[in-house]
Structure 1
Amino acid sequence: MSKDDLMAQAMPHLQLSAQDMKAILELSVRMLETNLTQQKELRLTRDNFPDSRTWREVRRKDGIRVFKEFQSQNSLPSGNSATCMRAGFSHPEEFEMPSLLMLGTIAGNLNDVMYASIATSTDAMRARSKFVQDGIVNSKVLCCVESPSSDDPFHTLNVTWRYYSLSEPRDYTCIEATGMVPNDYGELVGFHLIHSLGFAQLPIFRNHGVERANMSVCSFFRQKSTTLVECYRRGYFDFYSSNEMLNNISLHTISTQWLSMARYVECAQMKKLVWWMRMRTGRDSFASSSQSSSSTSSGGIAMIGQNTRPRIQSATRCQVCRRGFGGFLRTAPRACACCAEWVCKRCCVKKQVCVVSSHNRSKVNDKKLIFCAQCVAEGSKSDAAPVLREEVMGLRTSYSSTRRTITCSTMETE
């Protein structure tokens, strides 16, 4: 068992009193209000850039840019700042801790971004990190303070543990909150708050060479247009170290990890495909053997975890474009991992999916599976909110066998 697995196993599930949960809720509300105010006060140029006298760009990818705040020589992290972070102090900026800022846009819609941000379980946290590559080596949900509801599916408040392998290995115990709030113009704004908080009953891992650090990070998302989501993130970090060189290396590593937000919409689409795959075929994880796009005698993947998938009967034509599989070139049919229909090479696509292993809960399997063009289109266009409602409420909807016929002659297998 790896070091991070041993640490995750040693982290107990927190038993918090009603008073403790109330205090955590009040802290999350206070931190959210502080960050909303801070976002409003941020001065931007006409091109939506921060003041170059205060911020220096350190990373960029597509429509996302990350900036590092200039600091004075006397602004190294101190014991006082770390104490205030652990106590849930609402204004870490007053202690001149290292700060990063992210601004930009990503293609997609707000619900998809929020669906990727939310993680209601340890499995969901690990699968998300594996897919978007956000730098988290291992993680765990230690306590659920508030859960999503059918009326507010994006609302969560959890206590979580995160382990990062940076220039110096560090871990964090945090409160983590997600949800939607209206802004001054009546628009819905999604938020994702992560704020360090210490708990006496949780172990530390200095004997493993891991330092317990502190951070306060808040992200906001707004639907800027029908196809673009505006992103904002501000983070403060206390690495509990006076080594300025290592701290700067850590900040640059974190700024690179923040660019993983560019994959949030793709992550949401992956989560929807995996959910439908489970609901429609009863599959919970991957088989040990890899799926071959040319192997059809076994019906794609025949067994997933404990559930046996019925063998797919041979078909004579593609269920999407209705072209026959025969002919001189003998086009080999492929089985969609989601709907179990036979499709041709032109009407299927390989998509990366991440699911926690049924044999080892600390391991996330990462594979490319074949999906038909119709399921991929549904995953892209469908609203994430109803899927999340079903997921968190444990509902199961029936899957209609009636399929719309679409033509995707230009789609090629990756």
Structure 2
Amino acid sequence: MARPKVRLRDGDVEAFRNLAHSVISRTLAHECEYRRRGCTEPDAHEWKLVKRYNGLRVYKCKMQPEFQPSLSQENALARAPTAVCIGTIDGSLEDVLYGLHTKTRREMHVTNAFLNRGHLECAVLSVIEHGSDRDPFKQLALKWILAQNFGDVKSGNYHDVCTIESTGTGVDGRGESFGYRLIKSVDLTEYPQLSTSNDVVRARMTMCCIFRQDANSRTVRVYSKGMLDMGEEAPSFVPNSDATCTMMLSIASATEIAEAKRLTLLALQRAEYSACRSQRTCEPEDSSRETEATVTSPLPAETFDLHDSFLQKMPSDPCSVCGKKPTMSKFVRASHRSCGVCKQPVCHKCHVKRRLFARSDAIVVACCKICIIASKRLRVDPREPCPMLSA
């Protein structure tokens, strides 16, 4: 479902820049005040803890306005529950921003599959600002998402939302670095309703996140505020509250997405390395392991074999990680699984299931521990094309 690009006038561009800057600055001020107070829990008289997930906690504001059926769509967020998400995510600030960064529809589609189980379709309508050497993660863009649901509660309608998305890094008034991500619904004159189907309801949302790297550990501190209105006519706040909570906790998948991108890039690099070595030597491939990626640009995705690694069987070779041979290999044709990244045999104790990026969708493979470690050492640039395996 291709969506036409949005043509913006100079006045529109400046308006979107100012909008993003104002929301991010306001959220940063709240985050700085939260840190100044020692990162204490929100006031129990005003905020209610509604959900915990890993190191994150979501609180909902107890004081909600009464439902007004006549409320305009422009002010619909006034009846959506305001939520605050605080806590930590394992990983680095680079991993969080790299995982959430999307430049194209295809990259956005696979990324959203991690963030929202109800995701159906998406589009990048316009990219206003790109990354630079100073801030490779910087992006200001208009995007569109169509989803069956944004939370665990399903409704009879599909929901779409058109947003301004801003991502990047900055330095606060105390000279401390931080990362940010803003998603805020906007109205486009050209597209008041991108889908004309009667079963699609326009949702409204705002979520702004401030990320800071913990100096003493590989964790990222998170402070975010947001709200989501599903656009339903029902007076109940349950669907909106659930959807808001799910939206806030979705950022926990950021490092998982970054790892999937890194492993996919490593798989493409290893395939290219093996192909180049075979062409140069015309000899059987050496069985030695490489723990450092030596190619900086991924091979075209068409050259990568996408056979399910769980079905690929190797001869009775020992595990490339621990050296153990398959159980009963002397009596039956037992074999280890093949790592979906390096294609080497790996036993059940030395592999984990991981998802890789593919053009159609993410795929699950067995991944050896050596490739997991090697992927973390890769230098990545979010401005480069997203690594994708062929469909």
Q: TM-score range by the shorter chain?
A: 0.7 to 0.9
Aligned to 2:226: 235
The secondary structure found in structure 2 opposite 1:200 is: coil
Q: 1:47 to 1:148 in 2, by over 3 A?
A: closer
Aligned to 1:201: 190
- Contact 2:356/2:363, CA 8 A, preserved across alignment: yes
Aligned to 1:370: 366
Distance 1:141 1:36 in 2: 26
Distance 1:236 1:199 in 2: 20
RMSD of aligned Cα (Å): 3.2
Q: 1:232 to 1:122 in 2, by over 3 A?
A: same
The secondary structure found in structure 1 opposite 2:364 is: strand
Overall identity of the aligned pairs, in %? 27
- Contact 1:270/1:352, CA 8 A, preserved across alignment: yes
Aligned to 2:301: 284
Q: 1:277 to 1:76 in 2, by over 3 A?
A: farther
Kindly state the Cα deviation for residue 143 of structure 1 after the two structures are TM-superposed. Answer: 1.0
- Alignment partner of 2:164 out of 175, 190, 199: 175
Aligned to 2:82: 99
Deviations 1:100-141 (A, max 9, x none): 111111222111111111111111221112224464332211
Structure 1 runs not aligned, ≥5 long: 1-7, 86-91, 297-313, 358-363, 397-414
- 1:378-389, aligned counterparts within 5 Å? 378-379=374-375, 381-382=376-377, 386-389=379-382
Distance 2:179 2:264 in 1: 23
Kindly state the Cα deviation for residue 336 of structure 1 after the two structures are TM-superposed. Answer: 2.8
Aligned to 1:303: none
**111-120 vs 249-258, which moves further:** 249-258
Aligned to 2:354: 351
Amino acid at match of 1:295: K
- Contact 1:59/1:255, CA 8 A, preserved across alignment: yes
TM-score between the two structures when normalised by the length of structure 1? 0.73
Aligned: 1:61 with 2:53 = yes
The secondary structure found in structure 1 opposite 2:381 is: helix
**315-324 vs 62-71, which moves further:** 315-324
Aligned to 1:39: 31
Q: 1:241 to 1:368 in 2, by over 3 A?
A: closer
Distance 1:216 1:264 in 2: 18
**109-118 vs 126-135, which moves further:** 126-135
Deviations 1:373-413 (A, max 9, x none): 2111122x336xx3125xx23599xxxxxxxxxxxxxxxxx
Q: 1:77 to 1:135 in 2, by over 3 A?
A: farther
Aligned to 2:16: 24
Deviations 1:281-332 (A, max 9, x none): 2463786753334523xxxxxxxxxxxxxxxxx7955444455677567652
Deviations 1:33-58 (A, max 9, x none): 12222334459986732111111122
**316-325 vs 192-201, which moves further:** 316-325
**215-224 vs 344-353, which moves further:** 344-353
Distance 2:190 2:169 in 1: 31
Q: 1:169 to 1:46 in 2, by over 3 A?
A: same
- Contact 1:278/1:284, CA 8 A, preserved across alignment: yes
Kindly state the Cα deviation for residue 176 of structure 1 after the two structures are TM-superposed. Answer: 0.4
Deviations 1:14-39 (A, max 9, x none): 12234432332222222211222233
Aligned to 2:208: 218
Distance 2:244 2:305 in 1: 34
Distance 1:72 1:339 in 2: 53
Deviations 1:52-109 (A, max 9, x none): 11111221112211111123443658645x4368xxxxxx7xx565311111112221
Structure 2 runs not aligned, ≥5 long: 150-154, 272-298
Kindly state the Cα deviation for residue 276 of structure 1 after the two structures are TM-superposed. Answer: 1.9
- Contact 2:229/2:240, CA 8 A, preserved across alignment: no
Aligned: 1:51 with 2:68 = no
- Contact 1:59/1:256, CA 8 A, preserved across alignment: no
Distance 2:33 2:66 in 1: 25
- Contact 1:335/1:342, CA 8 A, preserved across alignment: yes
Q: 1:149 to 1:170 in 2, by over 3 A?
A: same
